[in-house]
Amino acid sequence: MAIHVTEQLRTFLLSILLGLGAGVLYDLLRAVRLRHPRLTAPLDLLYCQAVGLAVFLFVLRQSDGQLRGFILLGGLGGGVLFFSLLSRPLRPVWDFWMDRWMELFQFLSLPGRFCAAVCKKFAFQAKTLFYFLRKYATIHIEGVWKPLRKGGMSHGKARQTRKKEKIR
């Protein structure tokens, strides 16, 4: 097995491109994280998984599964190169496109928000209807003889008034 310097140089340059791609992905996800801080942890997890998978596939394809130091050094160098030269000038571009994506998302979610508002109104009306449904279904009968309780007296106010009369 011979060592080909040109093949290693090509792999090193490709790993620099891999590092640049990882930097671009991180910068894109940073634009989302700045607008939605709640998504920081899931986006970091997504970034780590995507870059880990990309490095794994790169090493598997380019160096037959052998992780070499110059591949990691090239990826790290590509990331540093991106963040030192391209990150700051490209930030307004990412912000512009993030704003356009948010406008598109809001436009496409209009039917869903309309349906949610209508369903909320229906739910409120149904709640009000069922809240008063027992009142509507109850039949109030007045003037009907009610059986007396044990001892021949009804409970409540009538019993208390009779006791007071006995005491006097």
Print pLDDT tens along the chain (168 aa): 466 888 889 999 999 999 999 999 999 999 889 888 999 999 999 999 999 999 999 999 988 888 888 988 999 999 999 999 988 998 889 889 888 988 998 999 999 999 999 999 888 887 777 666 665 555 555 555 555 555 555 555 555 555 555 555
Q: Which residues contact 83 (CB under 8 A, 6 or more apart)?
A: 23
The ranges assigned to domains in the chain are 7-107
pTM exceeding 0.75: no
Q: What is the pLDDT of residue 131?
A: 67
Token pair recorded at residue 48: 């780590």
For residues 117 and 55, is the Cβ–Cβ distance under 8 A?
A: no
State the DSSP H helix or E strand holding residue 127, giving kind and residue range, or none if neither. helix 110-137
- Report the sign of the C-alpha dihedral through residues 63, 67, 71, 76, in that order: positive
Whole-number CA gyration radius for the chain: 37
Label residue 165 exposed, middle or buried (CB < 10 Å: 0-12, 13-18, 19+): exposed
